[in-house]
Amino acid sequence: MPSLLHSRIRAKSGSNIIHAFSIHNQIRSLITGPPSSTPPTHHHTTPTAAPLPSPVPLPFFSPEVSAQQSAANGHGNGEAKPLYVPGSQADRLARVGRMSSPLRRGSHESWWSPEMGWFNAVAKTIPTYRVLDEEGHLVKGTAIPEITKEEALAMYRTMTLIPIVDNVLYQSQRQGRISFYMQCAGEEAAIVGSSAAMMEGDEMFGQYRESAALLHRGFTLDALMSQCFGNVEDKGTKGRMMPVHYSAPELGFHTITSPLATQMPQAAGAAYALKLDEDRQGDCVICYFGDGAASEGDFHAALGMNSVLGGPCIWFCRNNGFAISTPIIDQYAGDGIASRGPAYGLDTIRVDGNDALAVLSAVREARKRAVEGKKGVLVEAMTYRVGHHSTSDDSSMYRRVEEVKEWTVVDNPIHRFRAFLASKAWWDEASEEELLASHKSKVMKAFSRAEKLPKPKLGEMFNDVWGVGKGDEVPAVIMEQRAELGRLLKKYGEVWEPWKKERKRFVEEGMDVMDCDGRGS
């Protein structure tokens, strides 16, 4: 008669429940610390190594019985009691102990509250830190970050260089001379300010709009132009990648790939490696991403892993208002990206992304916290994407041109920083003209040079698919296909016009593939 047996056991455990519940009630106020505003009560020290719970009996569920049971327990009389609490009294006490132990840190700042405390924000509003106002004057009560004239001018040089680079390459894409381009326009302060706060040896994970950060780290104009043309001097990506997909391991700049937010968990991994590497103590990772990318699962995966596993990493969000055409209002309903930092236990700041000084000092502080604490820090830089998303985009389809113009006039990051330089008497009209002229000539020189260079050897198409260790052979699948192209090129390379024309663009005109019989160049 199993049902009878069950109800007997249930009745027995039912009495236990009532007992357990009263114990529970008694010690409720003792668990973890109450908020500072509540009056202190006496505090028990709780065991941190509580015994593991013994196997507990399974609960019995039978609709009829549970209906009777709930009536017996006084349900409906406003005295809700749990139907079943597993384990012996000792187990339950141990569990209560664990709740206040470090094992239960998931809500370690919480306290028991008799009221339903719904909330929708950790702080009511998140302030935006700035040093300079829109016109470049110092904000009252702010501390100017320590910055030497040399540092400031270096930043300014990059901030003024990138618009010229962008302009030339953007126009050249329009003329069909390169295949694609993306500008930094409007985000110069956020990108350069953050880059300037980083040190040599730091690792940088970009999204794709960080050319200025790379230039500030010392990437040459020649290297940049070569990548955009995919020519023989494109050491980073060997002509394989679209323009702006830079790769500069010598500068700690990881290869840009087009998928969004994929760089983020990778940055968490790199930060963990830095944390454990004795030779790299003091180095830090910075990972750039946008307001759109923060919607990807990888964003949450990255912050989650970094917050649990640790590792010095600055999560730098360029919140520029748009993910291609999707405005932030369609992207998130919460308080920006910064509000998510505390959810992952990260020190977080929101900063005026068009204020180069504020970005510099916020990221410097972020770097300090990240390195000292070997942990992640989130910086949300509020800025505005003045340019189109890319050369494939026409932003007038989804935002007014006047709105964009307003941003360039009212809140121009370059003008703001220049006003600061002028106020320090570090900059004047003559230097400005001289600088812009020198930028222009350098950019044009690098541009023409890169454009004239041929494309890499055709065989580069088949290299690096798999890494080949010393003494190992390139996988046959690659060598066969390479040989097949070689055979076809030999056969048709002179008579098939599209190939005849195309071959000429490459160093050795495809001979490297034809001559090697698939043995590699």
Partner 1 sequence: MLCPIRIPRPPTALLRTGIRYYAAQAGGVAGNGESLKIKSPSARQSRSAPTILPSEPTTEEPSLGESLLFLHTSEAALATPGLRFTDGHGLKGPTGKGRQTRRMNLYQAIRDALGTALATNPKAFVFGEDVQTGVFRCTTGLVDEFGKKRVFNTPLTEQGIAGFAIGLASVGATAIAEIQFGDYIFPAFDQLVNEAAKQRYASGGAYPLEGGSLTIRAPIGSVGHGGLYHSQSPEGFFLGAAGLKVIIPRSPIQAKGLILAAVRDPNPVLVFEPKILYRAAVEEVPTDDYTLPIGQPDNVREGSDLTVVAYGTPLHICQRAIDLLRSPPASLVPFLPASLRPPNPAPSIQLIDLRTISPMPLGALTEAVKKTGRMVIVHEAGKAGGVGNDLAGEVGRRAFEYLEAPIGLVSGWDTPVPLTFEKFYQPDVIRVFDKLVETLAY
Binding mask 202-241 for partner 1 (x = CB under 8 A): ----------------------------x--------xxx
Q: Tell whether residue 388 is a contact of partner 1 (CB under 8 A).
A: no
Q: Tell whether residue 257 is a contact of partner 1 (CB under 8 A).
A: yes
User: Residues 219, 316, 407, 462: which binds partner 1 (CB under 8 A)?
Assistant: 462
Cβ-based nearer residue to partner 1, 121 or 324: 324
> Is 240 exposed, middle or buried (CB count within 10 Å of its CB: 0-12, 13-18, 19+)?
middle
Q: How far is the CB of 111 from partner 1 (least distance, A)?
A: 34
DSSP string, 479-513: HHHHHHHHHHHHHHTTT-HHHHHHHTTBGGGGHHH
Q: How far is the CB of 502 from partner 1 (least distance, A)?
A: 5
Secondary structure of residue 352 in the 3-state scheme: strand
User: Residues 335, 393, 432, 508: which binds partner 1 (CB under 8 A)?
Assistant: 393
Residue type, 159: M
| Sign of the CA dihedral with 245 first, then 248, 251, and 256 last | positive
Q: Which of residues 260-279 bind partner 1 (CB under 8 A)?
A: 260
Q: Tell whether residue 460 is a contact of partner 1 (CB under 8 A).
A: yes
Q: Tell whether residue 180 is a contact of partner 1 (CB under 8 A).
A: yes
User: Residues 136, 510, 512, 514: which binds partner 1 (CB under 8 A)?
Assistant: 510
DSSP 8-state symbol, 455: B
Q: Tell whether residue 167 is a contact of partner 1 (CB under 8 A).
A: no
Q: Tell whether residue 451 is a contact of partner 1 (CB under 8 A).
A: no
Which range of residues in 60-68, 153-161, 288-296, 334-342 is near partner 1 by CB under 8 A? 288-296
User: Residues 16, 295, 408, 521: which binds partner 1 (CB under 8 A)?
Assistant: 295
Q: Which of residues 40-69 bind partner 1 (CB under 8 A)?
A: none
Total residues binding partner 1 (CB under 8 A): 53
Helix orientation angle between 149-174 and 413-423, rounded to the nearest 10 degrees: 150
Q: How far is the CB of 204 from partner 1 (least distance, A)?
A: 20
Q: How far is the CB of 264 from partner 1 (least distance, A)?
A: 12
DSSP string, 3-55: HHHHHHHHHHHHHHHHHHHHHHHHHGGGSSPPPTTSPP-------SSPPPPPP
Q: Tell whether residue 502 is a contact of partner 1 (CB under 8 A).
A: yes
Residue 481, C-beta contacts closer than 8 angstroms, at least 6 positions apart: 462
Q: Tell whether residue 398 is a contact of partner 1 (CB under 8 A).
A: yes
Cβ-based nearer residue to partner 1, 21 or 499: 499
Residue 32, C-beta contacts closer than 8 angstroms, at least 6 positions apart: 99, 100, 108, 110, 111, 112
User: Do 417 and 356 form a contact (C-beta atoms < 8 A)?
Assistant: yes
Buried-state track 427-462, b at ≥16 Cβ within 10 A, e below 16:
beeeeeeebeeebeebbeebbebbeebbbbbbbbbb
Give the C-alpha distances (Å, rounded to integers) separating 96 from 18, 82, 83, 218, 373.
16, 16, 18, 57, 31
Cβ-based nearer residue to partner 1, 66 or 481: 481
Q: How far is the CB of 403 from partner 1 (least distance, A)?
A: 15
Residue type, 490: K
Q: Which of residues 312-331 bind partner 1 (CB under 8 A)?
A: 323-326, 330-331
Q: Tell whether residue 504 is a contact of partner 1 (CB under 8 A).
A: no
Cβ-based nearer residue to partner 1, 1 or 476: 476
Cα–Cα dist 277/447, whole Å: 40
User: Do 134 and 411 form a contact (C-beta atoms < 8 A)?
Assistant: yes
Cα–Cα dist 231/221, whole Å: 14
Q: Which of residues 327-356 bind partner 1 (CB under 8 A)?
A: 330-332
Cβ-based nearer residue to partner 1, 230 or 252: 230
Maximum Cα–Cα distance across the chain: 101
The enclosing H or E element of 265 equals helix 263-276
Residue 234: closest CA among 178, 290, 163, 273: 178
Buried-state track 307-317, b at ≥16 Cβ within 10 A, e below 16:
bebbbbbbbbb
Which range of residues in 2-10, 23-31, 264-272, 490-498 is near partner 1 by CB under 8 A? 490-498
DSSP string, 100-167: TSGGGGGGTT----SS----S-SSSS---B-SB-TTSPBPTTPPPPP--HHHHHHHHHHHHHHHHHHH
Q: Tell whether residue 30 is a contact of partner 1 (CB under 8 A).
A: no
Which range of residues in 151-159, 310-318, 392-400, 413-421 is near partner 1 by CB under 8 A? 392-400
Q: Tell whether residue 298 is a contact of partner 1 (CB under 8 A).
A: yes
Q: How far is the CB of 321 from partner 1 (least distance, A)?
A: 13
Q: Tell whether residue 425 is a contact of partner 1 (CB under 8 A).
A: no
Kindly tell me the number of DSSP H helices and DSSP E strands found in the chain: 18, 7
Q: How far is the CB of 320 from partner 1 (least distance, A)?
A: 13
Q: Tell whether residue 491 is a contact of partner 1 (CB under 8 A).
A: yes
Q: Tell whether residue 498 is a contact of partner 1 (CB under 8 A).
A: yes
Footprint on this chain of partner 1 (rule: CB under 8 A): 179-180, 230, 239-242, 245, 257-260, 292-293, 295-298, 323-326, 330-332, 392-393, 397-398, 455-456, 458, 460-462, 465, 477-478, 481-482, 485, 488-489, 491-492, 495-499, 502, 505, 510
